[in-house]
Amino acid sequence: MILFIFVTWNRISLPFVFEWGESAGVNQISRILTGADLFAKPTLEFSALVYTPLYYFVSAGLSAIIGNPLFSARIISLVSTAISVVLIGFIVRNQTKNNLLAWISGMFYLACFALSDGFYDLARVDSLYILVVLIAFIVALRAQNKAGYLLFGLLVVIGFFVKQSFIIVFIPLHIYLLLKYWKNSWTAFVLELIGLSVSLYLINRYTNNWFFYYIFDLPQEHGYSLVSAIDFWIGDTINPLGIVFIFFLVYILASKFELMAKDPNLHTEKDTTVRKASKDRWWFFLLFFAGAAGAAWVTRASNGGGANNCMLIYAALAISLGLGAGLVLKTKWVEDNQWFYALIMIAISIQFIGLIYNPLNFLPTDDEKRLNERISERIKHNDIQVLIPYRSHLADQLSGNPQIHIVNLFELTGYFKGDIQPDGYALIRRIRTEICQQSYGLIILDQPLPWFEEQINHAYLPEKKISGVEYHQSNLLKWQQGISRTYLPRENFHIEQCLRSISGEQD
């Protein structure tokens, strides 16, 4: 908790992006605030992200009040994370009646901050997604009548519009509810069916089919990486979280054995009811863990899927840590041998020690702060059009020239192992032409681009007085080379030669 508070306190209000996807998110929020259509034909000015938009609308609503899209989006994520920690503790406390384990479980989720590449407080959809998943699970766990399942169904509809993979999380649990509690749970299915089908139809019709294009068609163009699929289980979870996995297995196997065993002492109707309720809880948690792991695995294994997609399984494992430890601590072994209690706590402590990280790895250096301020001032005080694809929100906020983000170009050009979209090919050709015509007074790349290097070399020169600047980089902003890759228009160049370099093939 101390590490997390230290990092977030020192970076949440900084006025520049820490991860390049934040910039694309700010573009979404700014687009909403202008009243323009979010889902429309891709242009040089804007293209939508491949996420359902609720997070961005919530962030835009807060931004309309406090006037800062980036800060507003981060506040939504930070508050979502804090509430998620409380809800994880609530679930564990409710099941184990152990306040210490509830606290430990919540802190374990925070301890996975570094494993997620520090996404918990960023202007990304993930933290709000985790929060709504936990709320929906608690409602499903406690639902006892039609009204409770109606609320669960409503949360599933809302969750889908936070992130599409929300549906995957609850597929196993939905099947169980369908088979076990059809008398009441049918209300959830009906509400989900009507709510999703009607809202999707209306939104897609309003956007002239562009909503489906961004939300369903483009994500299908992401290929899957076998390396990422394997590394999800080894590098992302089992290797760094082996001890927690042991507690997860203890809960699943020991609970199953205990619940399925015949207990001669259960004679009364009350005892039988308690036993059935415990068995139901076991199935609820097992199926929730399975859905959470499946959704995290699918999204992480997708080309372009980052460590932020693992946040969902980290939340599920946090719950399983508390449940598994709670089950062990109730055994006769612990009651008879206090050293066994100490052994359990030592194992948990070792797991936490293994998750300690250097908080400075998630903070920008003073040099990077100065360079980002310098870039902002440069754009703000010059009446020029800037090409800054990795931080395109700056072009809009500082010079009033909205600009498509690099991640949108990646989506449209098959960068994630999909097919090149006609709109993406047309946009690449237009940007190449704009570069050859020196329409941009300044180009800031951060990283090399796969499409424009030849045209830039024809029409622009690197800024020598800035390219040689030495500065200390952080792990957080390794992707951001800043003004070390800044280009100005050449005074003398052959535009015809530059235009001939624009290939007619889809490269």
DSSP string computed for 443-457: EE-SS--SSSHHHHH
pLDDT at 137 over 70: yes
- Integer Cα distance of 288 and 137 in angstroms: 8
Place of tokens 């809302």: 158
Of 254, 340, 330, 259, residue with least CA distance to 95: 330
Residue 371 pLDDT: 86
pLDDT at 468 over 70: no
Average confidence (pLDDT) over 51-59: 97
- Integer Cα distance of 42 and 49 in angstroms: 11
Asked if 292 contacts 312 with a C-beta cutoff of 8 angstroms, the reply is yes
> In this predicted structure, which of 23-27, 57-61, 168-172, 374-378 has the lowest mean pLDDT?
374-378
pLDDT at 276 over 70: no
Residue 482 pLDDT: 64
Instruction: Report residue 432 as tokens.
Output: 């190449």
Tell me the pLDDT band of 225, cut-offs 50, 70 and 90. confident
Tell me the pLDDT band of 494, cut-offs 50, 70 and 90. confident
- Integer Cα distance of 248 and 228 in angstroms: 23
For residue 436, give Cα distances in angstroms to 369, 428, 429, 431. Answer: 32, 12, 11, 9
pLDDT at 148 over 70: yes
Q: For residue 394, how far is the Cα from the chain centroid?
A: 22
Neighbouring C-alpha atoms within 13 Å toward the C-beta of 232? 27
Place of tokens 């999380």: 169
Average confidence (pLDDT) over 295-309: 92
Average confidence (pLDDT) over 482-497: 84
Residue 133 pLDDT: 98
Length of the chain in terms of residues written:
507
pLDDT at 134 over 70: yes
Tell me the pLDDT band of 307, cut-offs 50, 70 and 90. very high
pLDDT at 411 over 70: yes
- Integer Cα distance of 43 and 351 in angstroms: 49
% pLDDT > 90, the chain: 71
Residue 258 pLDDT: 57
pLDDT at 269 over 60: no
> In this predicted structure, which of 149-158, 264-273, 302-311, 396-405 has the lowest mean pLDDT?
264-273
What pairs with residue 387 in β-bridges? Answer: 443
Tell me the pLDDT band of 257, cut-offs 50, 70 and 90. low
Instruction: Report residue 113 as tokens.
Output: 């901050």
Tell me the pLDDT band of 467, cut-offs 50, 70 and 90. very low
- Integer Cα distance of 426 and 428 in angstroms: 6
Average confidence (pLDDT) over 475-489: 81
Asked if 170 contacts 122 with a C-beta cutoff of 8 angstroms, the reply is no
Q: What type of residue is 204?
A: N
Q: What type of residue is 416?
A: F
- 235: which residues sit within 8 A by CB, 6+ positions away? none
**Could you tell me which residue, 356 or 334, shows the higher pLDDT?**
356
Residue 507 pLDDT: 44
- Integer Cα distance of 507 and 500 in angstroms: 15
Tell me the pLDDT band of 107, cut-offs 50, 70 and 90. very high
Instruction: Collapse the DSSP code of 414 into the 3-class scheme (helix H, G, I; strand E, B; otherwise coil) and give the result.
Output: coil
- Integer Cα distance of 351 and 342 in angstroms: 14
Average confidence (pLDDT) over 153-165: 96
Asked if 421 contacts 414 with a C-beta cutoff of 8 angstroms, the reply is yes
% pLDDT > 70, the chain: 92
State the chain's mean pLDDT as an integer: 89
Range picked from 234-243, 255-264, 266-275 for highest mean pLDDT: 234-243
Residue 331 pLDDT: 79
Neighbouring C-alpha atoms within 13 Å toward the C-beta of 25? 31
pLDDT at 506 over 90: no
What is the Cα gyration radius of the chain? 26
Residue 474 pLDDT: 86
Asked if 506 contacts 425 with a C-beta cutoff of 8 angstroms, the reply is yes
